[in-house]
Chains A and B, each alone.
Chain A
Amino acid sequence: MITLVVNGASHRLDIDPATPLLYALRGELGLNGAKFGCGLGQCGACTVIVAGEPVYACLVPVIAVEDRPITTVEGLGTEEQPSPLQQAFIDEQAAQCGYCSAGMLMRAQALLDRNPAPSDGEIRTRMAPNLCRCGSHMRVLRAIRRVSDALRKTPPRRTWESNE
């Protein structure tokens, strides 16, 4: 049995410990966000955040992330209550087919969590692992910049209430 902590909830799964995280998220937990793109860590469609770091879910085996906090795009917000970054993607209409979008969001979120005010060059460098074939790049960059600018104007406020 493997214990995965996904979007704050703990799950005990009876799967082969060598199974890549992507198949546990999609197959066992029924989460749609992380996508299979290449299985090789070349395209970023499967990107999730593990303990603050962007990770290729198609490569990392579940045993390697046991008990560590995993965030998928479902953990950012919902259609009814999108997160600031999801809202910025909506505001910029930063998608065409949208297959790469969840991976884009997670890599961008990991960047903003670490550095709320990245330079344009840093955004491009940090986003480089993620591919988009439709050409929504300009809009994705604008969406990330939009959130970063908002964060700069409104310094993060620590709240002590639990989210639960």
Chain B
Amino acid sequence: MSAGEPGPKASRRAFLAGGGALVVSFSLSPRRLDAQTTSPGGPALPGSLAKNPMLDSWIRIDGDGAITVFTGKAELGQGLKTALAQLAAEELMVAPEAIRLVAADTARTPDEGYTAGSHSIDNSGTAIRYAAAQARALLIGAAAARLQVPPERLHAEGGRVAVDDGRRVSYGELVGDQLLHVRADPQTNPVDPALHRLVGKPVPRVDIPAKLTGGAAFVQDLRLPKMVHGRVVRPPSYGARLRQIDGAAVERLPGILKILRDGSYLAVIAEREYQAITAMRALAAAAEWDEAPGLPDPGNLFDTLAALPAQTVPVRDGPVEMPPGAQIVEADYRRAYQMHGSIGPSCAVSLFEEGVLTVWTHSQGVYPLRAALAGLTGLAPDKVRCIHLEGAGCYGHNGADDAGADAALLALALPGRPVRVQWMRDDEHAWEPYGSAMLTRVRAALDGGMIVAWDYTVRSNAHSTRPGGGPGGGAGNLLAAWHRARPIAQPAPRPIPLPEGGGHRNAAPLYTIPAARVMYEFVPEMTLRVSALRGLGAYMNIFSIESFIDELAREARADPVDFRLRHLDDPRAREVVGTAATRFGWSTFDRQPAGAQSRGRGFGFARYKNLAAYLAVAVEVTVDRETGRVRLVRAVAAVDSGEAVNPDGIKNQIEGGILQSASWTLYESVVFDRTRVLSRDWGSYPILRFKGVPDSIEIQVIDRPGTPFLGTGEAAQGPTAAAIANAVADATGVRLREVPLTAARVKAAIGV
């Protein structure tokens, strides 16, 4: 793998010296900043064009016809690169292979914030579609002028503009100096969906072949000349302080280049990776730490969470009267701390040379990370460059940024040598920021088989403590900042505002209910380190709402699917519910037990964030009455993502989301004692393995060409959790309201 292109200045020089390239180089110039407001009174620019309106910050066409598309979003294994190439190629009338994609590099690509929240196609895909469509129109215009023919007689195909008399001129010949250095035009017309050749088709992922054949596909595979290896000796617990360390014996080990101690931040750099690991272990054995109990009693975690001070954030305000005569139903639900659990521990490579710090990282946000690293190191932001390279799937804010900070600090300690840091398994398990433990309480009134009043409260820690925002670039959200001699305190977390929301994401049901109050109790004090985990609060809120809907349906003696449909007006919501139920065979389901195993069906539905993809899922489970073990037997989901760019990419995301959510819901909770996190490997934090994988998963993608993209990557997490709990209740007659639904809990609940 190449180390990416040279830095900004060199890149510009090299590019301009390259001769063939005629489009002005992409730059982060003041001119572009000036251009960041839309013209007064003019229509808004679509997607991320609103913040980055210059076409050449998205698309470059060189003199040889090579097409480069720039995105500020990162490939996280979700198939982003393929989908963006489809969109660009569709508009530019070329094959997807003709598109070279450059993603998330602070020296080269637009700032699109984090690759998070299922926003990438909506933000970046929309921008690229419109930018590419406008580029096509500009190329046709340039050809019309050069060939002296009206544009109506021209069309673009295969990287050329063709005249109806057979003459052709290539894009490379047409791109003038300034052709694409123009503002985006909101009046641009993308290709008519009826004519799509690529969008809406299951184009194979561009990144998969290299990943299957040992290609350099990940930041873990980056090998730079003279590269060395670093490891950090993490404290045994969050608050532990390094009392003393005698590193003399470790310094004499082979290959050791440097031992770095800065307060309680202890690290080593060695020539070879295993030498660094050996030295790290020796240092860990020699280190003496002071630590004290600082974690809540895990035996009454939810009482602790319930008692902590909270800020109340209204989602739907107003008093809710439970009507007299109505049947009142109430329940509360719990969710343990859960982890991202990337299969590949976080990794970064960094080089400090000529005053510039370069960090190759799998962070979800290269610009925010740059700001935080500037705050951490004292370097000016323009002396820090962050380049995204893929890591293992992250599913939110894992150790990626922290590993970037580790690599940066070690690179600063050893200028001129690229330093690669990969976390060990226990670093990732014990130090990543978890998905918050959560509590919900809901009370509703039923009258005539309908929900007439609804009162819901969700209580949770923060759902984003990402670096990048606020004073000092939010450096205090980087792990290394906590342990150095001059620590930077973690900034006070804030709730993510609606309509997206954090802990209150999806706290409001999509169902039509005449009187509803929904409140979010945001608990700033963090007992364990927490941040964004796929879906944020939506996972728990949908688990709670959709479990409770089943409880209400049972009280109303209604079929769970019929009961949902009674309260759903949105036709798209109704369609996914109906499709999933039909494909599953909901009405003809056979609950026949199989030996010692009870069988049940369960349903779950939500529109992610109440503004992104619609998803309904029906599942079948068996419950082993002896052991309490739940097995997901099959799942059938229907998803409406608006216009589907790559239907197989959507299926892959939903399949994966169902399996990951099943794993969270059935097995996962972070274990800790009063002092330390005890979930430090896959033995102490078990997840789904092949033996627990269902017999089948079927996904129906409802494609709606010409409608806006609706983010999909997190849509399955909540509905799947509820569907499983509902199926367990259907199979056993017992309702479990705490995630995870471990075998021990199920066994205890069914009382065998």
Q: Which residues of A approach B to under 8 Å, CB–CB?
A: 15-16, 19-20, 23, 26-27, 30-33, 35-40, 42-43, 45, 72-74, 76-79, 82, 86, 89-90, 93, 95-102, 105, 123-125, 127-128, 130-139, 141
With A38-B682, A133-B342, A134-B77 known to touch, is A95 a contact of B274 (CB < 8 Å)? no
Question: Nearest-CB distance from A26 to chain B (Å)?
Answer: 7
Residues of B within 8 A of A141 (CB): 690, 693
Is there contact, CB below 8 Å, between B208 and A90? yes
Residues of A within 8 A of B218 (CB): 32, 35, 99
> Within the assembled complex, what's the spacing in Å between the Cα atoms of A162 and B334?
62
Question: Chain A: which residue is nearest B362 at the CB level?
Answer: A97
Is there contact, CB below 8 Å, between A133 and B393? yes
Is there contact, CB below 8 Å, between B390 and A97? yes
Known: A98-B77, A133-B341. 20 other contacts (CB 8 A): A20-B274, A27-B272, A32-B214, A32-B221, A33-B214, A45-B343, A73-B212, A93-B204, A97-B391, A98-B211, A98-B212, A98-B217, A99-B344, A99-B393, A101-B212, A123-B690, A134-B77, A135-B660, A136-B652, A138-B693
Neighbour of B681 across the interface among A16, A38, A74, A133, CB < 8 A:
A38
Residues of A within 8 A of B689 (CB): 128, 131
Neighbour of A19 across the interface among B215, B274, B390, CB < 8 A:
B274
Is there contact, CB below 8 Å, between B209 and A138? no
With A96-B78, A135-B655 known to touch, is A16 a contact of B274 (CB < 8 Å)? yes
Question: Chain A: which residue is nearest B272 at the CB level?
Answer: A27
Is there contact, CB below 8 Å, between B652 and A131? no
Tell yes or no: B422 within 8 A of A by CB.
Answer: yes
Tell yes or no: B656 within 8 A of A by CB.
Answer: yes
Residues of A within 8 A of B212 (CB): 73, 82, 86, 89-90, 95, 98, 101-102, 105
Question: Chain B: which residue is nearest A96 at the CB level?
Answer: B77
Residues of B within 8 A of A35 (CB): 218, 220, 343-344
> Within the assembled complex, what's the spacing in Å between the Cα atoms of A133 and B286?
34
Tell yes or no: B443 within 8 A of A by CB.
Answer: no
Residues of B within 8 A of A89 (CB): 208, 212
Is there contact, CB below 8 Å, between A79 and B210? yes
> Within the assembled complex, what's the spacing in Å between the Cα atoms of A125 and B692?
10
Question: Nearest-CB distance from A58 to chain B (Å)?
Answer: 10
Question: Nearest-CB distance from B652 to chain A (Å)?
Answer: 6
Neighbour of B648 across the interface among A37, A43, A93, CB < 8 A:
A93
Neighbour of A42 across the interface among B424, B681, B688, CB < 8 A:
B681
Chain B interface mostly = loop
**Which 7 A/B pairs are nearest by Cβ-Cβ distance?**
A97-B77, A98-B211, A135-B659, A135-B656, A97-B393, A99-B392, A33-B214
Tell yes or no: B395 within 8 A of A by CB.
Answer: yes
Tell yes or no: B216 within 8 A of A by CB.
Answer: yes
> Within the assembled complex, what's the spacing in Å between the Cα atoms of A96 and B292?
41
Residues of B within 8 A of A100 (CB): 343, 392
> Within the assembled complex, what's the spacing in Å between the Cα atoms of A77 and B215?
11
With A30-B223, A135-B657 known to touch, is A96 a contact of B690 (CB < 8 Å)? no
Chain A interface mostly = loop
Residues 656-694 of chain B, each 1 if its beta carbon lies under 8 Å from chain A, else 0 = 111110010000000000000000011100011111011
Tell yes or no: B122 within 8 A of A by CB.
Answer: no
Is there contact, CB below 8 Å, between A36 and B213? no
Residues of B within 8 A of A93 (CB): 204-205, 208, 648, 652
Question: Chain B: which residue is nearest A25 at the CB level?
Answer: B214
Residues of A within 8 A of B209 (CB): 79, 82, 86, 90
Residues of A within 8 A of B221 (CB): 32
> Within the assembled complex, what's the spacing in Å between the Cα atoms of A126 and B207?
27
Residues 57-85 of chain B, each 1 if its beta carbon lies under 8 Å from chain A, else 0 = 00000000000000000001111000000
Question: Chain B: which residue is nearest A127 at the CB level?
Answer: B690
Tell yes or no: B273 within 8 A of A by CB.
Answer: yes
Among B210, B212, B273, B344, chain A packs the most CB atoms within 10 A around the CB of: B212
Question: Nearest-CB distance from B752 to chain A (Å)?
Answer: 26
Is there contact, CB below 8 Å, between A36 and B344? yes
Residues of A within 8 A of B213 (CB): 33, 73-74, 76-79, 82, 86
Is there contact, CB below 8 Å, between B204 and A90? yes
> Within the assembled complex, what's the spacing in Å between the Cα atoms of A76 and B694?
29
> Within the assembled complex, what's the spacing in Å between the Cα atoms of A45 and B220?
13
Question: Chain A: which residue is nearest B275 at the CB level?
Answer: A16
Among B216, B223, B689, B697, chain A packs the most CB atoms within 10 A around the CB of: B689
Residues of B within 8 A of A27 (CB): 272-274
Residues of B within 8 A of A30 (CB): 223
Neighbour of A102 across the interface among B207, B214, B342, CB < 8 A:
B214
Tell yes or no: B517 within 8 A of A by CB.
Answer: no
Is there contact, CB below 8 Å, between A137 and B659? yes
With A26-B273, A36-B344 known to touch, is A136 a contact of B211 (CB < 8 Å)? no
Tell yes or no: B155 within 8 A of A by CB.
Answer: no
Is there contact, CB below 8 Å, between B274 and A23? yes
> Within the assembled complex, what's the spacing in Å between the Cα atoms of A95 and B663?
18
Question: Nearest-CB distance from A123 to chain B (Å)?
Answer: 8
> Within the assembled complex, what's the spacing in Å between the Cα atoms of A45 and B212?
12
Tell yes or no: B345 within 8 A of A by CB.
Answer: yes
Residues of A within 8 A of B208 (CB): 89-90, 93, 95, 98
> Within the assembled complex, what's the spacing in Å between the Cα atoms of A43 and B686?
11
Question: Nearest-CB distance from A111 to chain B (Å)?
Answer: 12
Question: Nearest-CB distance from A31 to chain B (Å)?
Answer: 6
Residues of B within 8 A of A98 (CB): 77, 207-208, 211-212, 217
Residues of B within 8 A of A132 (CB): 343
Is there contact, CB below 8 Å, between A137 and B681? no
Question: Nearest-CB distance from B748 to chain A (Å)?
Answer: 27
Residues of A within 8 A of B393 (CB): 96-97, 99, 133-134
> Within the assembled complex, what's the spacing in Å between the Cα atoms of A120 and B227?
44
Is there contact, CB below 8 Å, between A131 and B697? no
**Pairs A–B under 8 Å by Cβ, sample size 20:** A16-B254, A26-B273, A27-B274, A38-B425, A39-B425, A40-B683, A74-B213, A79-B215, A82-B212, A96-B656, A97-B390, A97-B393, A99-B211, A99-B218, A99-B344, A128-B689, A128-B691, A137-B688, A137-B690, A138-B697
Q: Which of B353-393 contact A (CB under 8 A)?
A: 390-393
> Within the assembled complex, what's the spacing in Å between the Cα atoms of A128 and B221?
26
Is there contact, CB below 8 Å, between B214 and A72? yes
Question: Nearest-CB distance from A130 to chain B (Å)?
Answer: 7
> Within the assembled complex, what's the spacing in Å between the Cα atoms of A19 and B223?
20
Residues of A within 8 A of B659 (CB): 135, 137-138
Question: Nearest-CB distance from A89 to chain B (Å)?
Answer: 5
Among A36, A45, A100, A133, chain B packs the most CB atoms within 10 A around the CB of: A133
Residues of B within 8 A of A76 (CB): 213
Residues of B within 8 A of A127 (CB): 690
Residues of B within 8 A of A137 (CB): 659, 688, 690, 693
Among A23, A134, A137, chain B packs the most CB atoms within 10 A around the CB of: A134
Is there contact, CB below 8 Å, between A23 and B204? no
Is there contact, CB below 8 Å, between B693 and A37? no
Is there contact, CB below 8 Å, between A139 and B652? yes
Question: Chain B: which residue is nearest A74 at the CB level?
Answer: B214
Residues of B within 8 A of A125 (CB): 690-691
